[in-house]
Structure 1
Amino acid sequence: MSNGETNLELWPIGNCQVSGLIDSRAGLVWGCVPRVDGDPVFCSLLNGDSGNVGVWRFELEGQVSATQCYDRNTPILITRLEAEDGSVVEISDFSPRFERSGRMYRPVAYARIVRPIAGAPRLKVTLKPMRDYGAQVAETTNGTNHIRYLVGPQALRLSTDAPVGYVLDQRVYRVESDQHFFLGPDEPFGGNIRSEVRRMEAQTRKYWQLWARGLATPFEWQDEVIRCAITLKLCQHEETGAIVAALTTSIPEAPNTGRNWDYRYCWIRDSYYTVQALNRLGALDVLEKYLAYLRNIVDDAKGGQIQPLYSVMGVAELDETTAPFLAGYRGMGPVRRGNAAYMQVQHDCYGQIVLPTTQAFFDKRLLRMATDRDFESLEQVGEMAWKMYDQPDAGLWEFRTRQEVHTYSSVMSWAACDRLANVADYLGKEDRAAHWRERADTIREKIETEAWVENGDGGHFGASFESDYLDASLLQMVELRFLEPDDPRFLSTFEMVERDLRRGEHMLRYAAEDDFGLPETAFNICTFWLIDALVRSGRKEEARELFCIMLGHRTKSGLLSEDMDFETGELWGNFPQTYSLVGVINCAGLISKSWNTVR
């Protein structure tokens, strides 16, 4: 793929307030302010051929190569640019994050340091943020050492020790010493910019390396797991605890399909899988913040229906519109803002609230353990799970034009009642334990009766009560503890799912035609579910081989998007996708050799 063609070789940076994606040529091509679901002031990723606006790029005169890596165990990106005359610069990209004055300093800011390494490098800086979803290039005003960019009601201010005039005019100039750039709040930069930005870089590095140091990683694939864990943490909006499904909007699931969705919101389902994976690594800070977000969601619902997704601020209405001034990824519009799935009925969300919350009743490490009052609130969620377990919904794949009683949603409702019974037992509430156990048993009987499909091969569970088609979520019945891995019903269901949905080294969500036609790409988390099922059914070597193949499909940044072309292996869909990173973490833990075997 040529350097000039847009692709998903992107490197996330961020600080749990803002995030950015750096492309393979040192361009900040995606970044929203004041938070992940805000206006993409850096939007060239979705701006078609208009690559010189909506971007912040450093480019050497005569540039011939660019190589990149993360500073170890951090999201600080180092890009090395080399020119044909042998001159070299290194660029350090990060968003500051560290404790200051008793609280976490995580400004709406991007910091970049340019360091000349060899020769006499000549550099051009292109800094052209936009506003109103690509409607226009931001107007500027400037002073001696700063430039103000009017990106909306508020401005961003670039403070720098580089020549401001050269930056404004995009003129090539010689870099003879380190240069520091801080694009942040529209306020005077306090202190010496050189020393302050370097201090921010050092303290940000220390924060992330200490955070990674606390992870309980598997012995094998430690680098891969740590990179996924750091990126999952970047997907949490710290102010509220919400976890977004991805940092982008409208990267198509497959070329020219219109399957372009805005994933910069908090899906209850995706977040459940994210905190589950990070819990296995011991990253309890993400769980604690997310539980606070869930408590607010439950309180606002007042015992009523929970939506499948909310904004990072907990806003319920996410009206879906298009951004007419953005051409889309490789020109494949539309670019969507908002997501109409918030209006859908998806009953699995009740289980996905209960399951992570129950940990707070048992885990003594948490700063805030759950109380009897929390249990009472959680019972309201359980009541909705009980009420809706056999009612039609859009399902976890969010069908927009049909509803059925989906098996996965019913199993999640069973899990909600089952876990509430466990909590009630632990709290000594015998009557409530019996109450929820009886409900769980009733739901189980219904699923075993209504979702089971008899056929000449011995039968299997179907994706819904109304039909016998299959989907990959059936493989989660073991993970959710509804079935044991050696249960003949699981083994026969797995056999049928693999036969119908596996495409070589990939797994489809489903093979049936949906609202947009037949699926054209594999869903990466489903391939990891396949790997999980292979391990649990005794095919561990095959699982290991497939896992290594999937790792080989990652970007150079070590990450995955949502989807993959099962013919070419090209990545599609929003990036980085939390589901896919969860798959890497979970499968690595399941397949890795034990630490005890190598000590």
Structure 2
Amino acid sequence: MKYPPLRDYGVIGNDDRCALVSRHGSIDWCCFPHLESSSVFARLLDAADGGHFAISPAAAYEAHFDYVDRTNVLETTFETANGQATVTDFMPIPDGSTGAERESGVEELFQQAIYRRLECDRGEIDLELEFAPRFDYARTTPSLERVDDGVLAAGEDERLALYAGGAIDDLELSSSATVTGTASLEAGQSCWTGVQYGGREPLATGDPEATLDETKRYWREWLGHREEPPGAMPERWHEMVGRSELVLKLLIHQETGAIPAAATTSIPEKIGSDRTWDYRYNWIRDAKFTVQALHDTGHREEARKYFEWFADIARTDPEDIQPLYDLHGETDIVERELEHLAGYRETGPVRIGNGAAPQRQLDVYGTIVQAIYETMQFDETTDIRDEWDAIYSIVDYVCDHWNERDAGIWEFRDERRHFLHSKLLCWVALDRGLALAADHDLEAPIDRWTESRDAVREAIETRGYSESAESFVQHFETDEAIDAVALLIPIYEFLPPEDDRVQSTIDTVLERLTTDEGFVVRFVDSEIRPDEQTGFVLCSCWLIDALVLSNRIDLAREYFESLLDCANPLGLYAEKIDPDDGTLLGNFPQAFSHLGLINSVTYLSRALEVDGDVTPENFHPDHVETLFRRGDSPTT
């Protein structure tokens, strides 16, 4: 298939890099040396010229893939008329428990590799290899040179080695900078191939079987020993939470703790649309949900590192805080179009960088304060006094600027409005700032902050709610634009779930934004941009959470099960789902989608079993705390 659907892709990776591997055995997306670096394989964005590393049978075949249990090691099984083979793909991670000590520089090189094991399970099979690296987003076609154990591809300042180890027969180099070869295997036989960025070492001289064992062990130990679902959580939910945890860990930058929104750039939100963005950056607004998800799943070290990352950003001048940063904390992010690439399924433009970086988005301030507030609920080692100067500055800044227009959560590029979400998060910044000051006996201008908080509340209640629409609306200048962000009002405890305006808002979202399957589009009837037709996974999770808080447990569970059905066969989500055919759209895999899933499982689990005896029949709102309160989660 020229452009496989996202359902046909798996992701492998480690610490700071990812690769997408299709069900047909082709690595179609990979950037080295880091996830946000330029690509060495980009067939995902240009089937003809993007570059790839493919392994598949020479004869007709059927294929399916799955992860090795509780790991990010991917196995693809090919069946032909004469035999069956399994290709195992992974990026290596050194496991300290093996005693394999590596200097930092060597370890970095060790991880800048992809290992591929070819094994014949029964019969006999010929596997064809095709290696076509294209550096710098396919702007550089490298030169190829035969070496003892494979081929070295070289660009002006990049090298990528194909390791064949003598197991690949008939290795040929074409004038089009493509390497082909064949591995002929019989039952019980196996061989190794792979690529090493920067040169031939250490892949060429390492022990690949030991490395595979190390990598499996690492993932399983990181995930922990939660082999059985806690409480009454269904096995299926438990498995999907585990997969979502593993996806998040793949995306977490080991050095800085930052988490990109996704592993890819320019997968369109809709085929034929020019809404193609680079998501390989960390959005500040993700912080509050990320901290909660990491703590709820017991990953304290990652949560702490992520806290340190955004806390460092919080110490800058509030005026200079951006909506997004690169994974190393850099702020100079320029958006450019790569006109030479056709785009996924011929949908362009292909973009690198992101023009939303310099936007003004007032919600970032509430996000930071909420994330710090949330961290204080879980991490007793954090001293709020170390962060108070930064929090004080942010909350004080919100007092002066909350009533300004901004670009909003959906980053409208040509519009500035008084967006509901931005005002809500300004209220959060003030409310949590006051709570932190009171809880920890910290000095603060209480009267000033309280007056501003009350003013924001009045503005939201009087200008953000439409009597005619019977719902909170997208921004203050409309009576008709319905936006899924209104579902966050009870989640942030701006109003209680039983408030009539909250309930009517949920009813309106169900009527106007929700498909029969429970997929929620972001907004409708907005004069800023035409209605969306595809379900936004995170918004669907928000609806599930709001339904749980409203004691509509049966409907919440029905929609959650429907959402689980729409993951790809490996349990991975993109940003959006086409409600007509279940097609996954947008960048992939999407961190926000997996964060939303983890948090929705938290809500549902709390509703279905608190202290072992709460069921939908005897549910009471007091049993289910919002995500942003102290509480133990059944997912840990």
The answer, yes or no, to whether TM exceeds 0.5 is yes
Percent sequence identity is 30
Question: What SS is found at the alignment partner of 1:492?
Answer: helix
User: Could you tell me which residue of structure 1 aligns to residue 185 of structure 2?
Assistant: 175
CA contact (8 A) 2:84 2:120 kept: yes
Counterpart of 2:306 in 1: which secondary structure? helix
Deviations along 1:306-338, one digit per CA (max 9) or x if unpaired, are: 211111122212211111221111111111111
Which shows bigger deviation, 423-432 or 491-500?
A: 423-432
Separation in 2 of the partners of 1:62 and 1:336?
37
User: TM-score normalised to the size of structure 2?
Assistant: 0.87
1:352 aligned partner, one-letter code: T
1:235 corresponding residue in structure 2: 251
**Deviations for 1:517-574, whole angstroms, at most 9, x for unmatched residues?**
3323221211221222222222211111111111111101111111122222211111
**Which residue, 331, 342, 345 being the options, matches 1:330?**
345
Report the secondary structure of 1:172's partner residue. strand
Matched, 1:142 2:146: yes
Determine the structure 2 residue equivalent to 1:565.
578
Give the C-alpha shift of residue 46 in structure 1: 0.9
Residue 488 in structure 1 maps to residue 500 in structure 2: yes
One-letter code of the match for 1:123? L
Query: Which AA in structure 2 matches 1:307?
Result: Q
Q: Give the length in aligned residue pairs.
A: 588
Paired residue type of 1:6: P
Instruction: Kindly indicate whether the alpha-carbon contact (under 8 Å) linking 1:240 and 1:313 is maintained by their aligned counterparts in 2.
Output: yes
Map residues 55-70 of structure 1 onto 2, 5 A cutoff. Answer: 55-70=52-67
Equivalent position SS for 1:402: coil
Residue 256 of structure 1, CA deviation: 0.5
Q: State the alpha-carbon separation in 1 of the partners of residues 483 and 424 from structure 2.
A: 14
CA distance in 1 between partners of 2:572 and 2:203 (Å)? 37
Gaps of 5+ in 1: none
- For 1:82, the equivalent position in structure 2 comes to 79
Corresponding residue number in structure 2 for 1:32: 31
| Alignment check: 8 A CA contact 1:124 1:167 kept | no
Name the stretch that deviates more: 483-492 or 432-441.
Answer: 432-441
Aligned to 1:210: 221
Shift of 1:347: 0.6
**C-alpha separation between the residues in 2 aligned to 1:515 and 1:139?**
49
1:234–1:271: structure 2 CA closer, same or farther, 3 Å change rule? farther
15 and 365 in structure 1: CA distance in 2 versus 1, 3 angstrom threshold? farther
Instruction: Decide which of 88, 94, 99 is 2:90's aligned counterpart.
Output: 94
Aligned partners of 2:420 and 2:476 also within 8 Å: yes
Equivalent in the alignment of 2:622: none
2:327 corresponds to: 312
| CA distance 1:5–1:342, shift in 2 (3 Å) | closer
Moved more, 110-119 or 290-299: 290-299
Q: Determine the C-alpha separation between the residues in 2 that align with 1:450 and 1:339.
A: 32
Q: What is the deviation of 1:296?
A: 3.2
Secondary structure of 1:428's aligned partner: coil
- 553-562 or 173-182, which deviates more: 173-182
Q: CA deviation at 1:274?
A: 2.7
Shift of 1:430: 5.5
Letter of the structure 1 residue corresponding to residue 262 of structure 2:
A
Confirm or deny that 1:112 pairs with 2:116.
yes
**CA–CA separation in structure 2 for the residues paired with 1:298 and 1:133:** 33
Deviation at 1:516, TM superposition (A): 5.6
CA distance, structure 1, for counterparts of residue 371 and residue 506 of structure 2: 26
* Residue in structure 1 matching 2:511, options 499, 506, 512: 499
**Mapped contact 1:47–1:328 kept (Cα < 8 A):** yes
Deviation at 1:462, TM superposition (A): 2.2
Calculate the TM-score normalised by the size of structure 1.
Answer: 0.92
Q: Is the 1:562–1:574 Cα contact (8 Å) retained in structure 2?
A: yes
Matches of 2:336 and 2:546 in 1, distance apart? 39
Instruction: Decide whether aligned partners of structure 1 residues 321 and 72 sit closer, same or farther in structure 2, where only a CA change above 3 A counts.
Output: same
Question: Pick from 67, 72, 84: which aligns with 2:69?
Answer: 72
2:403 paired residue number:
390
The 5 Å alignment of 1:288-367 reads 288-299=304-315, 301-364=316-379
Task: Provide the C-alpha distance between the structure 2 equivalents of 1:392 and 1:585, rounded to a whole number of angstroms.
Answer: 32
1:327 aligned counterpart, secondary structure? coil
**What SS does structure 2 have at the residue aligned with 1:530?**
helix
Q: From the superposition, tell whether residues 595 and 115 of structure 1 become closer, same or farther in structure 2 (CA, over 3 Å).
A: farther
Indicate conservation of the 8 Å contact 1:54/1:137, yes or no.
no
In structure 2, the CA distance between the partners of 1:324 and 1:447, relative to structure 1 (3 Å rule), is same
Matches of residues 448-527 of structure 1 in structure 2 within 5 Å? 448-455=461-468, 459-468=470-479, 469-505=481-517, 506-513=519-526, 517-527=530-540
Gap runs ≥5 in structure 2: 174-179, 614-633
Written as runs of structure 1 = structure 2, the 5 A alignment for 1:438-457 is 438-455=451-468
8 Å Cα contact 1:166-1:172 kept in structure 2: yes
Structure 2 residue 574 is matched with structure 1 residue 574: no
C-alpha distance after superposition, 1:98-117 (max 9, x if no partner): 33538884622211111222
CA offsets, 1:156-183, max 9 Å, x none?
2233424466344413341353222342
Structure 2: how far apart are the matches of 1:514 and 1:29?
Answer: 38
Q: Once the 2 structures are TM-superposed, how far is the Cα of residue 5 of structure 1 from its aligned partner?
A: 4.2
Distance in 1 (CA, whole Å) between partners of 2:204 and 2:593 is 42
Contact 1:503 1:566 in 2 (8 A): yes
> Where do 1:43-54 residues align within 5 Å?
43-50=42-49, 54=51
Q: Is 1:426 matched up with 2:439?
A: yes
* TM-aligned CA distance change 1:382 to 1:102, over 3 Å: farther
2:625 paired residue number? none
Give the aligned residue type for 2:220: Q
Correspondence for 2:238: 222
Q: What is residue 249 of structure 1 aligned with on the other side?
A: 265
Check whether the contact 1:217–1:589 (CA below 8 A) recurs between aligned residues. no
For 1:479 and 1:540, the matched residues in 2 are separated by 16
Deviation track 1:256-314 (CA, whole Å, cap 9, x = no partner) reads 11111111111111343233222221222222221222133234x33423211111122
2: CA distance between counterparts of 1:153 and 1:414?
50
How much does 1:77 deviate?
Answer: 0.5
Distance 1:363 1:139, change over 3 A: same
| DSSP 3-state at the match of 2:124 | coil
Aligned to 1:244, the other structure's residue is in SS state: coil
CA distance in structure 1 between the partners assigned to 2:26 and 2:152 by the alignment: 20
| More off after superposition, 444-453 vs 123-132 | 444-453
Q: More displaced, 28-37 or 564-573?
A: 564-573
User: Structure 1 residues 191, 526: CA separation in 2 closer, same or farther (over 3 Å shift)?
Assistant: closer
Partner Cα separation in structure 1 for residue 445 and residue 369 of structure 2: 15
Tell me by how many angstroms 1:205 deviates: 0.9
3-state DSSP of counterpart to 1:463 = coil
Q: 1:394 to 1:191 in 2, by over 3 A?
A: closer
Letter in 2 for 1:449: T
